[in-house]
Amino acid sequence: MDKLTKKPADNVQLNIEKIAEIFPNVITEIRDENGNLKKAVDFELLKQELSYGIVEGGKERYQLTWPGKKEAILLANTPADKTLKPVKEDSVDWDNTQNLYIEGDNLDVLKLLQESYVNRIKCIYIDPPYNTGKDFTYKDDYRLAAADYLKKSGQLDEEGKRLSQDNELNGRFHSGWLTMMYSRLKLARVLLKDDGVIFISVDDHEHHNLRKICDEIFGSSNFIGEVIRKTKSMTGDDGNGFNLQHENLLIYSKKKSAVHLVGKEKSFANYSNPDNDPYGDWCPGDPSAKRGGDSTYFPIKNPYTGKVDYPPKGRFWAFSEKTLKEYINRGKIKFKVDHGENERGFIFKRYKNEAINRNNPVSSLFATENDFMNQSATMELKGLFNESYFDYPKPVAFIYELVKCCTTGKDDIILDFFSGSATTAHAVMKLNAEDGGRRKFIMVQLPEPTEPNSAANRDGYKNICEIGKERIRRAAAKIKEETGADIDYGFRVYRVDSSDVTAN
């Protein structure tokens, strides 16, 4: 009989998997004595599932917790032990620019930014790792490298060969990702202005968890909304008949009452002045309101036809009887000489010059157009580099709209601490060139090495930061050539270091 080389199966984990098939809600995560995450059973919940009455136990409370949450809080609260070293040789227009590009772990950088940027950031956009099992590794080790995970979980034999082909877990535990994100978002919140907002791209892997930790860090009352971005138009599926074509964008604020987002400018194409009204262009409007009382519920009689109108069922007029007379005298309410049997007997005019807001609100579906899909971002990178280099870059148009809706263009600062290919910097420069703004960007990126056989590596880009910096240079040159705008196209480069030098 050949000598057995395989490690014995982990029967505890196998049994937990069987329990998970029946009671998925009782499965949680713990760290073992070696610090590795493993699935575990919440026995109190399991007892409840198998009982006909209430099982006495710990006091119930609404909370979100995971192995590593205390560590996340400690990571955020521990003072920075690094500084920023200037890298002038990689910078553009060092003496005049106010833009920053910082290389290093964003946990360190966010701590260092506390020194100069507390309550100063107007807009944060981040596209963090989606925890798909193929993401980058940060120093607080939210995801084990594939080989380490397989070895520690007993899926490799003594020769390093795979024992199991079950990819269900794939080294992707929620707890580690939550620890990584929690500490960074906690630090990011401190940097936001009271009227600042943070936009976070996410997909289905961690969407539910991200929403919960953001509710905890920013406060559920400061949740503004969620945008759906169309990612592709493919009609295939994963074998189960479902085709996922979108991802999500969560929007939170530091103080919701201070935030006002500005959407696209209103068209006013449907406004005209066919009756030469001295108050200018107008369009028919709804004269009713959701709320009111006895003073705003009354009949309105057409003097020409005798038609009597009341507010629609459950609604009230948007004006009182006294105001009605004023509106009739000035022509804001115009009675029809002729009308259909079921038509209202008067026109309620909405004047263009009375429009309080010249812009529409930001729609949660604005990014469902094809211009916001992944392929648009891929084409943009190919237009600058002849290669995309990134699997899922974000389109400039997408971040452009986000920055535009929450910044005035004067001196607002935009931060992206998962900057990747530096699309956010590209979008900020494009917007400044169009409206003459003086927005400033801060890009932060871990110098993650490119894969040895990748197109980026072959083209001489040894890490992601090199791609990001070159993208800003090329985008700046392109924008300047196309617009001639006199804006800040430069950026100062800093690198996280232990030397005693800090950014101004």
- Domain boundaries along the sequence of the chain: 11-61, 82-161+170-262+391-497, 282-354
How would residue 470 be classed by pLDDT, with cut points 50, 70 and 90? very high
Of 275, 338, 328, the closest CA to residue 304 belongs to 338
Of 134, 121, 110, the closest CA to residue 183 belongs to 110
More confident residue, 503 or 186: 186
Percent of the chain with pLDDT over 90: 64
Helix, strand, or coil here: 450? coil
Helix (H), strand (E) at residue 194: strand 192-202
pLDDT for the residue 145 = 43
d(CA 124, CA 252): 10
More confident residue, 306 or 360: 306
Helix, strand, or coil here: 161? coil
Q: Which CATH superfamily is domain 82-161+170-262+391-497 in?
A: Vaccinia Virus protein VP39 (3.40.50.150)
- The DSSP symbol for 201 reads E
pLDDT for the residue 372 = 95
Query: By the 8 A CB rule, do 444 and 99 touch?
Result: no
- pLDDT at residue 364 tops 90: yes
Residue with tokens 């068209």: 267
pLDDT for the residue 357 = 77
Query: By the 8 A CB rule, do 280 and 233 touch?
Result: no
Q: How many residues does the chain have?
A: 504
pLDDT for the residue 151 = 46
How would residue 168 be classed by pLDDT, with cut points 50, 70 and 90? very low
Query: By the 8 A CB rule, do 315 and 284 touch?
Result: no
More confident residue, 130 or 96: 96
Beta-strand (E) ranges in 56-112?
Answer: 83-86, 100-103
- Six-digit token string for 44: 């109190």
Helix (H), strand (E) at residue 366: none
Chain centroid to CA 142: how far? 20
pLDDT for the residue 141 = 39
How would residue 150 be classed by pLDDT, with cut points 50, 70 and 90? very low
d(CA 373, CA 244): 13
Mean pLDDT computed over 295-308: 97
pLDDT for the residue 402 = 98
Kindly report, residue by residue over 410-451, the tens digit of the pLDDT: 899 999 999 999 999 999 999 999 999 999 999 999 999 999
Beta-strand (E) ranges in 287-423?
Answer: 288-289, 300-301, 308-309, 316-317, 333-335, 346-351, 413-416
CA distances from 340 to 275, 324, 347 (A): 20, 23, 13
Percent of the chain with pLDDT over 70: 88
CA distances from 134 to 144, 151, 349, 490 (A): 11, 17, 58, 33
Helix, strand, or coil here: 479? helix
Chain centroid to CA 335: how far? 49
How would residue 166 be classed by pLDDT, with cut points 50, 70 and 90? very low
More confident residue, 50 or 404: 404
Please enumerate in sequence order all residues whose Cβ is within 8 A of that of 37, keeping only pairs 6 or more positions apart, or say none. 29, 30, 31, 67, 173, 175, 176
Burial, 234: exposed, middle or buried (Cβ in 10 Å; 0-12, 13-18, 19+)? Answer: exposed
d(CA 133, CA 143): 8
What's this model's pTM, rounded to 2 decimal places?
A: 0.77
Could you give phi then psi for residue 282, rounded to 5 degrees? -150, 165
Mean pLDDT computed over 36-65: 79
Helix, strand, or coil here: 209? helix
- pLDDT at residue 164 tops 70: no
pLDDT for the residue 172 = 53
How would residue 1 be classed by pLDDT, with cut points 50, 70 and 90? very low
CA distance from start to end of the chain: 71
pLDDT for the residue 165 = 36
More confident residue, 313 or 6: 313
Chain centroid to CA 367: how far? 12
pLDDT for the residue 403 = 98
- pLDDT at residue 149 tops 80: no
More confident residue, 318 or 17: 318
- pLDDT at residue 144 tops 90: no
Kindly report, residue by residue over 249-293, the tens digit of the pLDDT: 999 999 999 999 999 888 888 999 999 999 999 999 999 999 999
Identify residue 336 by its one-letter amino acid code.
K
Mean pLDDT computed over 210-226: 93
Indicate the average pLDDT of the chain.
87
pLDDT for the residue 429 = 98
How would residue 70 be classed by pLDDT, with cut points 50, 70 and 90? confident
Query: By the 8 A CB rule, do 57 and 69 touch?
Result: no
Residue with tokens 């059973």: 41
- Six-digit token string for 226: 């969620």
How would residue 44 be classed by pLDDT, with cut points 50, 70 and 90? confident
Could you give phi then psi for residue 388, rounded to 5 degrees? -85, -45
Query: By the 8 A CB rule, do 333 and 344 touch?
Result: no
pLDDT for the residue 241 = 81
